[in-house]
Amino acid sequence: MDFGLFYYCQGRGVAHDQAYAEMLDEIVLAERLGFGECWLAEHHFTDYSILPSPNLIIATALARTSRMRFGNYVNVMPFHHPLRLAAEAAMLDNLARGRFDFGIGKGVRPGEFAKLGLQFDDATAM
């Protein structure tokens, strides 16, 4: 049986830098304990997630670990230019040396779209 982590990265009333530092410390500890993978979700403007860029955390975590696989669950495609996101994913894949899984999706929270000036109903067409 394999074990993994999944993060929304909740702020829990602490400063964002502290929440990010604690999450990274947990990831390093989890690898030491034998966990094999870590997935991070992209969300914007929410009360439950302070992780607008899972790829930045993945890049940092890759530098602090040696075996754990990482994936974004998901990069919300309508929020990104496709070529820019593909280039970022390719760079992460090179940095990861086989430990990165690229995930994309259309998004699920209409409020995030609205705050970015996008229409949720257009997400599928994008």
Cα→Cα distances 50→1, 31, 46, 91, 109, Å: 30, 23, 7, 23, 14
- The predicted-structure confidence for 92-115, as pLDDT tens digits, reads as follows 999 999 999 999 999 989 999 999
Fold of the domain spanning 4-122: TIM Barrel (3.20.20)
Q: From CA 66, how far away is CA 28, in angstroms rounded?
A: 9
Reported as a single tens digit per residue, the pLDDT across 54-97 is: 999 999 999 999 999 999 999 999 999 999 999 999 999 999 99
Q: Give residue-wise pLDDT tens across range 9-36.
A: 887 788 999 999 999 999 999 999 999 9
How far apart CA 98 and CA 92 sit, in angstroms, is: 10
Q: What are the structural domain ranges in the chain?
A: 4-122
**Helices within 14-126 (DSSP H only):** 16-32, 54-64, 82-96, 110-115
